[in-house]
Amino acid sequence: MSEQYDVVVLGAGPGGYVSAIRAAQLGLKTAIVEKKWLGGVCLNVGCIPSKALLKNADLAETLRERTKEFGISFENLQLDYSVAVKRSRQVSDRLTKGVGFLMKKNKIDVLMGAGKITAPGTIVVTDEKGAAQEVKTKNIIVATGAQSTVPPVWKIDGEKVLTYTEAILQTKRPASAVIIGAGAIGVEFSTIWNSYGTDVTIVEMLPQILPLEDPEASAELAKAYKKRGIKLLTSTKVESIETTETGVKVKVSGADGEQVLEAEQAMVAIGFRPNSKGFGLEEVGVKLDQRGFVEVDDAMRTNVPGIYAIGDVTGKLLLAHVASAMGMVAAESIAGAHTVKLDYRMMPRAVYSHPQVASFGYTEQQAKDAGYEIKVGRFNFIANGKSLGLGESAGWAKIISDAKYGEILGAVLVGPDVSELLPELVLAQRMELTAEEIARTVHAHPTLSEVVMEAAHGVEGLPIHM
Contact (CB, 8 A) for 438 and 462: no
Nearest residue to 10 via CA among 134, 83, 114? 114
Q: How far apart are CA 238 and CA 254, in angstroms?
A: 9
- Catalytic residue, from 321, 445, 457, 465: name it: 445
What lies within 8 Å, CB to CB, of 79 at 6+ separation is 60, 63, 64, 196, 197
- Stated length of the chain: 466
Annotated binding site: 51, 115, 181-188, 204, 271, 312
Pick out the residues of the known binding site for FAD: 51, 115, 312
Positive or negative torsion for Cα 261, 264, 269, 273:
positive
Indicate the annotated binding residues for NAD(+): 181-188, 204, 271
Phi-psi region of 165 (alpha: psi -120 to 50; beta: other; left: phi over 0): alpha
Pairwise CA distance, residues 192 & 50, whole Å: 9
Residue 445 catalytic? yes
What's the one-letter identity of residue 207? Answer: P
Which residues are the active-site residues?
A: 445
